[in-house]
Amino acid sequence: MSNVLVLNMGLKSVRSIIFDQEGNKLASSSRPLETALTGDHVTQSPSEWWAKSVEVIRESMHSANCDIEYITVTTSSACLVYIDENGKELDKAIMVSDKRAINESIELGKASEFIKVQEMTGLGADPYLMIPKIMWVKKNQPDLFNKTFKFLSPNDFLIGKLTGKYYTDYFNAQKYHYECSQNSYPVDLLEELGIKTSTLPEVVSPGAEIGSVDEKVAELLNLNNDVKVVVTTYDAICSFFGSGPSEEGDATDVSGTVTTFRVLSHKNDLNTSLKVFNQPFYDWGINIVGGSNNLGGGLIEWVKQCYYINEDYPYEVMEKDAKESELGANGLIFLPYLLGERAPIWDNNARGVFFGLERTHTRKDMTKAVFESAGFVIKDMIDSIEETGVEVSSIRFSGGLARINLISQLKADITGKDVLILDDFETTAIGAAILTLVGVGKFDNVKDAADKFVSVRMIIKPNKKNHDKYKQIHKLYKDTYLTLKDLFNDRKELVDKIYREKESIIENL
């Protein structure tokens, strides 16, 4: 029987989880990660990633006390690491929610080769993507740009630490505007921008085996010398497969720090959208449609820090408070864009807003409004996905937010869809293990593997009366954002003039 070690690094922690081929979790270990916020800059330390990866791998290996045949890595995407020839990072990693490259994204959109690339990839020139970030390095850190041997995602960086080789998968490569159907980076565009294609990692299919762990690294990690490294993909795609979708219209909602929402489709004639991604998995003949926002469970962490920091059981008290507030939070709307927003509105300047605040509102209402906003963002995502021609049938829900029963019910009521709560919330690690075992031929297909790894704990049905009311409230929610959209831009200009940037360290984003 084959055992798989998954190194799973999200925005707030790094975990090592060991599975056997039957889907049993043999051991796990985790460490928190620090995030630094300085104005538009959101950074983490790649050295910290690796140091804590070593700790969790060694710890999980000790607990499992078994042989490992395969190791894979899954991390957040669209975070830029730049290293020298010795594999050492040249600066902190530029994280996915970092917005420093706004001017570079505008410049990218004006490049003569960009329109052609956009038509082929369906991707705009958003600053969260990799090319604008590299352009920022070239413009603002020319010495480091010239020293850069490779520009990498966290996935690629950690694979490099394990093997000394720099590979990525084609889902991660899409963040560089890689054109999967052509098996090529946008060579002409990169040449126009002065970026060498040789500085980007080699692209392989998810599930590809690329060799063994380096001998010295294996000794450091207490691994056998013949442990094989398999490239899977970034966390949002892994969590999709780890949620077990199999039928047309099966949707997955994985709400950790961010919420990633994606739908399975076998259709080949989907409409193009700049609101959500359509990511074909060419090897398996399916489409993955959807995207991720900037904060999901991170909203609840913010509420906890603001209003429940002194509670012994903050999440339980939060849920109790929210239940005691009326549907619609007594007329209070919350826009949850604390870090701007990615899919589906793609507005870097948007920010959080309580709209309709009255003297009679309490902590309970504010908490309820935040809880409801977690459902409204999913409703926005579903509406945008269905514009492509995919009809969402049901939602398979996992992640930290799925532990709060009220939020599960709110998502069902607001979307009008059945919400299936998964038994194991480690969907990202499960998906990475599934992709690994299918890739190396231990399972014929992802459905056979998912039958071993994934089960549904309960199904939550929407309340029709509540759904009818939430349709009206959701319209007000959307109108609130659209009314404030231009003001968010004015606010950004004013903030940039008045306030000096200062660094804040957040251990749990």
| Model pLDDT for residues 205-252, shown as the tens digit of each residue | 999 999 999 999 999 999 988 999 999 999 989 999 999 998 999 999
pLDDT in tens, 400-441: 899 999 999 999 999 999 999 999 888 999 999 999 999 999
Entry pTM: 0.86
Question: What's the CA gap between 216 and 345, in Å, rounded?
Answer: 46
Separation in Å, CA 148 to CA 42, 93, 186, 235, 412: 20, 13, 19, 26, 48
Q: Which segments of 308-362 does DSSP mark as H helices, in order? A: 314-323
- The answer to whether residues 455 and 267 touch, using CB atoms and an 8 Å cutoff, is no
pLDDT tens-digit readout, 247-292: 999 999 999 888 999 999 999 889 988 899 888 888 888 999 999 9
- Report which DSSP code applies to 36: E
Give me the phi and psi of 45, to 5 degrees please. -100, 115
Name residue, tokens 């056998």: 224
Q: Counting Cβ atoms within 10 Å, is residue 54 exposed (0-12), middle (13-18) or buried (19+)?
A: middle
Angle between the N-to-C axes of helices 154-163 and 46-64, in degrees from 0 to 180, rounded to the nearest 10: 60
CA distance 312 to 328: 27
20 burial level (CB within 10 Å; 0-12, 13-18, 19+): middle
Report the chain (509 residues): mean pLDDT per 10 consecutive residues: 93 94 95 90 96 98 95 96 97 94 96 93 89 98 98 98 97 94 93 97 96 96 93 94 94 92 93 89 89 91 95 97 98 96 93 97 98 97 97 95 95 98 92 96 91 94 98 98 97 86 57
At residue 39, the pLDDT reads 80
- ∠ CA(471), CA(485), CA(109), 5° rounding? 115
Q: What is the DSSP letter of 323?
A: H
According to DSSP, residue 376 is labeled H
Phi, psi of 290 (to 5 degrees): 150, -150
Rounded distance between C-alpha atoms, residue 217 and residue 50, angstroms: 11
Q: Which of 185, 206, 187, 177 is closest to 78 using CA atoms?
A: 177
Q: In whole angstroms, what is the distance from residue 309 CA to residue 94 CA?
A: 29
Cα 453 to chain center, whole Å? 21
Q: What distance in Å separates the CA atoms of residue 186 and residue 175, rounded to the nearest whole number?
A: 11
Whether residue 264 contacts residue 281, with contact meaning beta carbons closer than 8 Å, is answered with no
**What's the rounded Cα separation, in Å, for the pair 154 and 73?**
9
Calpha distance 157→87 (Å, rounded): 8
Number of H helices, E strands in the chain: 17, 23
Q: Find where tokens 């993909």 sit.
A: 233
Tell me how far CA of residue 276 lies from CA of 110, 193, 304, in angstroms: 22, 26, 30
Looking at residue 91, the DSSP 8-state letter turns out to be: S
How far CA 413 is from CA of 17, 324, 429, 462, 474, in Å, comes to 34, 17, 29, 4, 11
CA distance 218 to 238: 25
- On the question of a cis peptide bond just before residue 344, with omega within 30 degrees of 0, the verdict is yes
